[in-house]
Structure 1
Amino acid sequence: MRAPDFWEKDGRLLPALLAPLAAGYAAAGRLRQAAIQPWKAPVPIICVGALTVGGAGKTPVALALGRHLGSQGRQVHFLTRGYGGRDAGPLRVDPARHHAGDVGDEALLLAQTAPCWVARNRPAGARAAATAGAEVIVMDDGFQNPSLAKDLALLVIDGGHGLGNGRVLPAGPLREPVGRALARADAVVLIGEDRAGLHPILSDRPVLGARLLPGPEAQALAGRKLLAFAGLGRPEKFFASLRAIGADVAATVVFPDHHPYSADEVEQLCDQADRLHARPVTTAKDAVRLPPALRDRVQVATVHIEWADSAALDRLLASKIHPAGEAGEHPDVCRQLFHSPPV
């Protein structure tokens, strides 16, 4: 699925016509939040969610948090629904045995950093992770899922893309109304510069600034001629990042988000790249959906999150995931501790 153009800017007829459906979607979400009693896990739950559908950067933020907590000696496990996979879980992901069709692409990426559990029933997944030794669980997505209590709820927003036309699905890209989401968020992770005028909307929320930077493999592509392809929520963001590092992007090919690549498709992409005297390149999230036998024919451009203020991140984590009797007793302490400006 590609995001429709009218999700970008308001003032068009179609969003207005879809407004009644959007109101119904928002009302259903509100009722779901009110009707379900969240289960409290025996270990802290950090939820990395988004307001918009696709392309916000949740998984890179979840990975960065997992690495950050792991570097402090905590036993971190990831939890995800496993979107695009057929297994409902709870299941511990084994990258050597499972494929994207089994557990989804995000789960395979997360499992490369720390143990990852796929579970459509989030409480069951959290229980399994805690039983297996998790001291902290980082949940990729699930902000709108009320079944599991969150000790720290983060909303990831792309500073360049913002919130689109500001309308709820299907009239716009929002999963729920902005005010309702921000009221449940402990902080916002704002990736990149605020080019969408978000500051007034986020003025009463702690904001962690971050940047999405190319990894060494991507930086090595500077000056190279490339055929870039991706099946993401916002593939143009990937193509722009390649151009920004100085790569010569000779051609781009777009696939639907979470697209499972066939061997024929990869062969065709490689043949097209050969005709252009270019190197085929894709994202790490796409790479796990390539047929294993053909992965070495495609260059993978990795990315990572760089925090604007690591000390602010540590204060936020300490205020929420320490045991009761410490900073975790005070639900609003993180708002008093910092308000880090976005980069």
Structure 2
Amino acid sequence: MNWWEKGWYRQHPFTLLFWPLSLLYRLIALLRRLGYQRGWFKSFAVEKPVVIVGNISVGGTGKTPFTLWLCAFLTSQGFTPGIVSRGYGARITQPVRVTPLHLAADVGDEPLLLAAKSLCPVVVCPDRVAAAEYLLATTDCDIVISDDGLQHYRLQRDLELVLIDGQRGLGNQHLLPAGPLREPVSRLQSVDAVIVNSGDFALAKHKMQLKAVTPQALDGQSHWPEQTQAVTLVAAIGNPQRFVETVKSVGIEIKATAFFRDHFAFDEHSLADIEGPVLMTEKDAVKCRAFAKANWYYLPVEAELSDEFKFWLRQQLRQWRD
């Protein structure tokens, strides 16, 4: 977490200096949403249902493991899901179907991970309308998951699912740049479900937990030793402290940490001085496989949702069954 984010979540008074800009951001966000609601700006519907997975704050809230869980759940209910995503950091102007041959720099780290683990088609493009249309035209998908698509109002949606970080909450509840919010807290009252990740949040009716499984080697050949040494944690995610706590919860000793900004583009030089064994997040691992050493590992996590949420979601899915 950089010093700016610390101000958001630890109530540093310097953030108040940016409060006037936060008010301007709020006005723009409200007018933009109102513009799509009133038809001042054109939005587009696609021929299949669209499920939004998003948040109202910047930084990690657990959207990626939730999206993987959602893909598996939809498949178990007889649907054929596909995913559209922006492809953060990638220079993309037209829809691109993610394949194992792509690098994170080509399509973004999260889409690459989603495509590898979900086994569902993933299309990236800054224009999610174009991405969704391409996905439906080139695959047999019958439901579209829009990853981090809550604020992309050009794409009409049928269901909005919002993730909240239960450890950090919404910080000082100011909008950017004085706080971490993309939209006002009141936006949560209009979404279909608020899901809190690993903690509590007053407006969340549903809970998600992340369960760590056995670490895996980046080179695909080494094995996690039964008596491992203390590890150096490497992470470039929105909330690295969550990773620290997850690692501790499975009994792995930490000797050092190396945290980078979210979505940092790793190369062999940026990690050249890191002492192994290294343990990183799965999202970061997809960017490091090409130059990984034998004692570099990643820690997979799986989302677990309550039975109450599964029941609620089944009820929502009924409207789209043939």
Scaled by the length of structure 2, the TM-score of the pair is 0.88
1:182-238 Cα offsets, whole Å, 9 max, x none, are 1331001111221xxx32xx1xx6x221101102327x6786311111111111211
RMSD: 2.1
One-letter amino acid of the structure 2 residue matched with residue 164 of structure 1:
G
The runs of 5 or more residues in structure 1 that have no matched partner are 274-278, 327-343
Q: Which residue of 2 aligns with 1:123?
A: 129
Post-superposition shift, 1:32? 1.6
* Pairing 1:104–2:93 present: no
Residues in 2 aligned to 1:293 and 1:306: alpha-carbon distance in whole angstroms:
32
Output aligned runs, 1:196-207, within 5 Å. Answer: 198-199=201-202, 202=203, 207=205
In the other structure, the counterpart of 1:315 is 312
By how many angstroms is 1:295 displaced?
Answer: 6.1
TM superposition shift of 1:75: 1.1
Aligned residue pairs, count:
305
Query: Residue 316 of structure 1: CA displacement?
Result: 2.4
The superposition leaves residues 218-260 of structure 1 with CA deviations (integer Å, 9 ceiling, x where unpaired) of: 7x67863111111111112112211111111011111111111
Letter in 2 for 1:75: T
Which one of the candidate residues 186, 189, 199 is aligned to 1:183? Answer: 189
| Secondary structure in structure 1 of the residue aligned to 2:320 | coil
**2:219 aligns to what?**
none
Q: Give the CA deviation at 1:320.
A: 5.0
Structure 1 residues 121 and 52: alpha-carbon distance in aligned structure 2, compared to 1, 3 A threshold: same
Rounded to whole Å, the distance in 2 between the matches of 1:284 and 1:295 is 15
User: In 1, distance between residues paired with 2:240 and 2:23?
Assistant: 29
User: In the TM superposition, what is the alpha-carbon distance from 1:48 to its structure 2 partner?
Assistant: 0.6
Note if contact 1:39-1:123 (Cα within 8 Å) is conserved in structure 2.
yes
CA distance in 1, matches of 2:156, 2:125: 15
Q: 1:156 — aligned with what?
A: 163
Query: What SS does the aligned partner of 1:149 have?
Result: coil
Provide the rounded CA distance (Å) in 2 between the counterparts of 1:248 and 1:193: 23
What letter is aligned with 1:157?
I
Give the 5 Å matches for 1:250-261.
Answer: 250-261=255-266
CA contact (8 A) 1:262 1:291 kept: no
- Which residue is equivalent to 1:29? 29
Whether the 8 Å CA contact 1:211–1:305 is kept in 2: the answer is yes
What does 1:293-332 correspond to in 2, within 5 Å? 293-294=291-292, 297-309=295-307, 311-320=308-317, 322-323=319-320
Rate the CA distance shift 1:111–1:34 in 2: closer, same or farther, 3 A: same
Report the equivalent of 1:209: 207
Deviations 1:11-32 (A, max 9, x none): x432222111001111111122
1:295-317 deviation per Cα after TM superposition (whole angstroms, max 9, x unaligned)? 654101010100122x5324324
Residue in structure 1 matched with residue 172 of structure 2 by the alignment: 165
Residue identity over aligned pairs, in percent, reads 33
In structure 2, relative to structure 1, the CA distance for the partners of 1:321 and 1:89 (3 Å cut) is farther
Does the residue aligned with 2:88 lie in a helix, a strand or coil?
Answer: coil
Give 1:173 deviation, angstroms.
Answer: 0.7
Could you tell me how far apart the structure 2 residues matched to 1:84 and 1:23 are?
28
CA distance, structure 2, for counterparts of residue 214 and residue 109 of structure 1: 16
Determine whether 1:83 maps to 2:88. yes
Alignment correspondent of 2:38 = none
Give 2:7's aligned amino acid: F
Q: Are 1:288 and 2:286 an aligned pair?
A: yes
Instruction: Tell me the residue number matched to 1:144.
Output: 151
**Which segments of 5 or more consecutive residues in structure 2 lack a partner in the other structure?**
36-40, 217-223
Larger displacement relative to structure 2 (313-322 or 84-93): 313-322
1:253 is paired with a residue whose SS is strand
Q: Deviations over 1:27-64 (max 9, x none)?
A: 11112212233211111111110121112111111111
* TM-score, normalised with respect to structure 1: 0.83
Amino acid at match of 1:103: V
SS at match of 2:157: coil
Residues 223 and 246, structure 1, Cα contact 8 Å, conserved in 2? no
1:272-329 per-residue CA deviation (whole Å, 9 max, x = no partner) reads 22xxxxx1110110011115142654101010100122x53243243256239x9xxx
Gap change, CA 1:295 and 1:230, over 3 Å in 2: same
